[in-house]
Chains A and B, each alone.
Chain A
Amino acid sequence: MINQTVTTLFHLDVLAALMMALVSFLGVCVASFAYRYMKGDSQYISFFIQLILLIASILVMVSADHLLLLFSAWCMSNILLVRLMVHKSNWKAAQASGKLATKNYLLGGGCVAGAFMIFYGLSGETSIQALLRQDNSSSFMLLALILLLIGAMTQSAIYPFHRWLTSSLNSPTPASAIMHAGLVNGGGFLLARFAPLYLKHSHLLTVIFVVGIITALVGSLWKLLQNDVKRMLACSTMGQMGFMLAQCGLGLFPAAVAHLVWHGMFKAYLFLASGSSAQEKRFDLAYPPAPLTFICALICAAAGSFTFGFSSDNSWLSGNSTLVIMVVAFLAAAQFSLPILRSKNLRHFLFALITTGMMGLIYGGSVRLMTESMEPMHFMQPQPLNGFYIAGIIVMSLAWLSILFIRNSSKTAEPPIWMLKNYVAALNASQPHPNTVTAHRNHYRYL
């Protein structure tokens, strides 16, 4: 009886297992970190209770098969996250961050609830797996998927639902770590969970790709502008989530999940290490590179993308949406070889060629590791190339080139007016919500 209830409520597949492994690992690390980091805090015990409940509710969420259970866990984890965010509850700015996040989650929760109700109405099923097996192409289904997409976007801080995330840094560092490594992944998880339905709507996939790429660009640009470490990390998360969504939009759901997992580890580490950002010294990268260096970098990139393709089982000639992934690997390989090529001689060129090739192998391998393990899910379905995908490739490449070649430099002459205008506009757009800024020092509270 109990067994039966469990099987109707939960569904353990590779996706659930991966997410559970990620969340448990991060949970243990963050809790152990906070155990020392938060010592002496007046809310010490309640912080831990909430943290443990939060991790438990995420575990339920990722393994749930019942629509209502998934929805409840979704809401529960968001409520708990807000509580962790407003840890210093007498601090007005922290309260404002909580309010902003709550509004966002209410919208998201409403959309998800709407989507689930339509699912139920159309299929009469409460089990997600049963739902996924059904064939239903009514326009209500499309509406449900759009609502679900909006829910995912609010959770993953996708433009224009990003502001709660970039205004959330009044939270204690461990709460930020679990938020950026765990909770924002909720959107990506939701899309992956319902991937079979999205894969039947290729137009919707294109939409997902477009919002993803826009967020990726905006988040990356803002990240490069920020002057404080935590907001820089928050904007970076936003960009990474955008890229993850774009991967979903390419029909490459396993790649998106891989991105979630690796990004989660990376970002949790950076948040917990944010206390040492003052010691990090930035080195001059000697931009723009000389033409010959740049050409050598492109040759290395070709090698790197080739080895990447080899180990990740992708190719330049597939003629489908995996081309985007190949281009990203190509750009990364070029960027990787540039610092090695700084001193221009043949020996360095060979060295760069070989190391770039090796890095391509490793990178491809790490992607393959994830995608292979998700093979049984059958949601790796590259889409045929279309104009939007090509546009995405062009935009990402141009943005990369712009940093190399036209990055403003205080050393040279005065930058053109359009650059100044855009600098100020982007700076203003990336500011946190005014109420979440502690504009009067004595409004800050630690009790």
Chain B
Amino acid sequence: MQTILLAQQEKNSKPILNNLAAINIPPLVKGSFNIIAPFWPLKNLIAVNPLQGLEDMPIEEALKTGSAYFQQRELPKNMETVNRQTIKWLQVYFDQGQATLAMPLRRAGLYAAWRKLAIYDVKLHDNDDQKKKWLKLLPNTAEQAIVECLLNLDIGHEDREIFLKLLLTSLPGWSSYIKYRTEWAGLDFADQHPVTQADYLAIRLIITSLLWPEAKALLEWHKKAQAETKINPLEQIQKTENNYRLALLEKLSAQPLQALHTPEAQWVFCIDVRSEPFRRALEAAGDYQTFGFAGFFGLPVQITDSITGESYASCPVLLSPKHDVKESLCTHEGYEQDRKGYQRLINLKRLYQSLKYTFTTPFALVESLGIISGACLGLRTLAPSVAAKIKLTLMGMLRKPMDVKPSLDGIMFAEQCVYAEGALRMIGLTHHFAPLVVLCGHGSTTQNNAYATGLDCGACGGRHGAPNARILAAILNCLEVRKQLIKKGIHIPKNTHFIAALHNTTTDEVTLYNHQESADIEKLKKSLEKAKVTNSLVRLHQMQKSTTAAKAASYTRLRSQDWAQVRPEWGLARNAAFIVAPRDLTASLNLEGRCFLHSYDHAADPETKFLTTILTAPMIVAQWINAQYLFSTLDNVAYGSGSKITQNITGKIGIMQGNASDLMTGLPLQSVYSSDTEVYHELQRLMTVVYAPRKMLDPIISSQPILQKLFRNGWVQLACIEPENRTTYLLNRDLTWKNTD
């Protein structure tokens, strides 16, 4: 092998240059990464279809191809050796603050930094002089290294892309993280530790060349894998789907539209499936009308905290933020007080970290903190709610939680009007305004949960939705904006007030922001209290805990406070359908928290502008979520992340199993299974139901390639309820309609 390596290197550069010309690297790299879906880090987990790269195929074929690439039970032994070394280096390079002594040189980029260290890695060169020399003389660019290694490994021209694909799919989780970093991370990692797809492939190839020169055999191995026939899981899935879908369509089409009236309050919730049972419970508690809308309220914003200076994109990952909105405290004194509180908190943490992350002093640290950690251990384990109360009190003393408000300077007035009008029209709230309109984002509260952000609002990029709700409420409360809206035909009465709120999906508590106390608000709060109890009872039942109404709320709260709780809430498990229709069609049905509900009034959308947006944005997000739950359930090892009890967080970015492993993408076992053997999530693909005439849908489908891809290939089932006669249709895979009767 060494002779081959050196022969390549020592030949004058001419043949290599020739070969370089012959192999066009960038498309090869890009092409091989096509099969990989991105993986968002733990700080904002976003649901993704693990077979996203195969969506161009019919789902039957994608499942088969996916199985050949991702679900192989065995891997050639030598490839395991290569994986071990790859994992070791990726762990150190992509560390986001776990290690105190981080990998040196990281600012230079993955390939450049690694190359300088790899020459000292005995595990790679095994003290073999020739291998050492080869490592030292590696080309300057990753692309050149890829060429050199492909030649060394003797990979034929036509096999190159597939070989690179195999190098990626034999360690799929880490490849997914690189896909995220290179195509989706946006500004998040702009100046830190750069990486390119070529960097990664170069390293992977170099390690392979050193540890398994005969890696060409991987191609044969893959051919065998492709030839294997596997049981098609789709048959079982289709059975469940058919039963569910037809029954749902029948029920929906039978619901009458209600006469218009002005309710006491209107509530706008996120389309998230967890909103549905809560909306139902709330509607039962008073004269309320509720709407469903993407939880970022149509605002592509980046939120900046004026105290910490941190900012993040608070919109779907499909969009990039257009405006930077600062959130700050309502008063100057409040600001000063909060800044000091934050400083106190940081100082304490800094003190602890300074003693913990160095030599010698941790020995003294454990001796002085032992008794305190013993107390915390006992309290958090044996009395989680007491521990939570103590923590709340202590935190309140250090940094009192205070109301914040957004500054709208980052959004120009004209744009504010556009967002205001768009939001109201999209959900059909353009008339009969109630005196109170609550814009309700959502978020979760869990302890000791690596997947915490996975339970937050996906439409807000895996964050709490409150900031967006506050921004839209501020815009809609602005009198100037309302004046402009009148010109557009939307008349918001003077006495209508918009309030921002946050629905805590773990506890079903709703927090109202920046409101004056009044009798009306009191009434809302009472209704919220009732809805909380109703929904807590239902949810506890789903978690196999039967209890009384009096205790329900405290049990759900306990789940959010308990650091040993691995199933604090069921998240979006059992999701099955995306319904685009007025609430009247769903209001009197118990949809069991299985449906995304988007409010829509086709009569108010003659140009189908809003419907197009709904189908190409929120529906895509719903499809990503649906596919993630589906595949994490189907194979929790290959597409999910396994049991939480043996998980290990690496680099603060992701999960490994045990000592070290592939980066475990997807949902943990506990999110989709009620026990190691019992499935909780139901295996179903998404059905999108639209209450609008087919003649509105057809042009949208034919103009949107992404919709054609999803419908044609069987990833999503489209259904239509004709408003005129309430007949229901399903879209066939050839994009023709089929009457369901």
Interface residues of A (CB under 8 A from B): 25-26, 28-29, 32-42, 87-88, 91, 93-94, 97, 167-174, 216-217, 220-221, 224-232, 236, 239-240, 243, 258-259, 261-270, 272-283, 285, 328-329, 331-332, 335-336, 338-340, 359, 362-363, 366-367, 396-397, 399-400, 402-404, 407-408, 410, 414-415, 419-421, 423-425, 427-428, 431-432, 434, 436-447
Q: Select one of B116, B120, B347, B642 contacting A425, CB under 8 A.
A: B120
CB neighbours (8 Å) of A399 from chain B are 359-360
Q: Are B448 and A331 in contact (CB under 8 A)?
A: no
The stretch from B240-248, B559-567, B619-627 touching chain A is B559-567
Q: Are A278 and B652 in contact (CB under 8 A)?
A: yes
Q: Are A263 and B351 in contact (CB under 8 A)?
A: no
Q: Are B661 and A438 in contact (CB under 8 A)?
A: yes
Q: Are A338 and B120 in contact (CB under 8 A)?
A: no
For window 118-154 of B, CB contacts with A under 8 Å fall at 120-123
Interface membership of B104, Cβ < 8 A: yes
Most B CB within 10 A of own CB, among A35, A87, A444, A445: A444
Number of chain B residues whose Cβ lies closer than 8 Å to a Cβ of chain A: 111
Interface membership of B353, Cβ < 8 A: yes
Most B CB within 10 A of own CB, among A36, A168, A400: A36
Question: With A265-B377, A439-B83 in contact, do A273 and B563 touch (Cβ < 8 Å)?
Answer: yes
CB-nearest residue of chain B to A37 = B564
For window 563-618 of B, CB contacts with A under 8 Å fall at 563-567
CB neighbours (8 Å) of A270 from chain B are 373
Q: Are A42 and B676 in contact (CB under 8 A)?
A: yes
Q: Are B649 and A278 in contact (CB under 8 A)?
A: yes
Interface membership of B378, Cβ < 8 A: yes
Q: Are A439 and B651 in contact (CB under 8 A)?
A: no
Q: Are A37 and B645 in contact (CB under 8 A)?
A: yes
Q: Select one of B91, B361, B637 contacting A444, CB under 8 A.
A: B637
Question: How many Å lie between the Cα of A120 and that of B563 in the bound state?
Answer: 48
CB 8 Å contact bits of B243-262 with A (1 = contact, 0 = none): 00000000000000000000
Q: Are B378 and A29 in contact (CB under 8 A)?
A: yes
Count A-B pairs with CB separation below 8 Å: 356
Q: Are A363 and B123 in contact (CB under 8 A)?
A: no
Q: Are B97 and A442 in contact (CB under 8 A)?
A: no
Interface membership of B8, Cβ < 8 A: no
CB-nearest residue of chain B to A231 = B659
Q: Are A438 and B662 in contact (CB under 8 A)?
A: yes
Q: Are A441 and B366 in contact (CB under 8 A)?
A: no
Majority SS of interface residues in chain A? Answer: helix
For window 649-683 of B, CB contacts with A under 8 Å fall at 649-653, 656-662, 664, 669-670, 673-678
CB-nearest residue of chain A to B559 = A36
CB neighbours (8 Å) of B91 from chain A are 227-228
CB neighbours (8 Å) of B657 from chain A are 93, 170, 438, 444
Q: Are A400 and B363 in contact (CB under 8 A)?
A: no
Q: Are B675 and A228 in contact (CB under 8 A)?
A: no
CB neighbours (8 Å) of B363 from chain A are 216, 239-240, 243, 259, 328, 332
Q: Select one of A236, A240, A367, A446 contacting B636, CB under 8 A.
A: A446
Question: With A216-B363, A331-B361, A420-B104 in contact, do A441 and B172 touch (Cβ < 8 Å)?
Answer: yes
Interface membership of B546, Cβ < 8 A: no
Question: With A29-B378, A172-B646 in contact, do A224 and B101 touch (Cβ < 8 Å)?
Answer: yes
Q: Are A36 and B42 in contact (CB under 8 A)?
A: no
Q: Are A434 and B84 in contact (CB under 8 A)?
A: yes
7 A–B contacts from the bound complex (CB under 8 Å): A97-B658, A171-B658, A225-B100, A272-B448, A274-B649, A275-B448, A441-B637
- Shortest CB-to-CB span from B509 to chain A, Å, is 21
List the 9 closest pairs (A to B, CB-CB), nearest first: A262-B370, A40-B675, A332-B364, A170-B658, A439-B80, A265-B374, A438-B661, A399-B359, A228-B650
Question: How many Å lie between the Cα of A407 and that of B354 in the bound state?
Answer: 14
Q: Are A266 and B117 in contact (CB under 8 A)?
A: no
Q: Are B73 and A442 in contact (CB under 8 A)?
A: yes
Q: Select one of B347, B381, B661 contacting A272, CB under 8 A.
A: B381
CB neighbours (8 Å) of B170 from chain A are 440
Knowing that A29-B378, A335-B361 are A-B contacts, what are 11 other residue pairs whose CB atoms are under 8 Å apart, sorted by A's residue number? Answer: A35-B564, A36-B562, A41-B643, A41-B676, A171-B646, A224-B357, A227-B92, A228-B91, A275-B563, A329-B364, A400-B361
For window 414-446 of B, CB contacts with A under 8 Å fall at none
Interface membership of B369, Cβ < 8 A: yes
CB neighbours (8 Å) of B369 from chain A are 262, 266
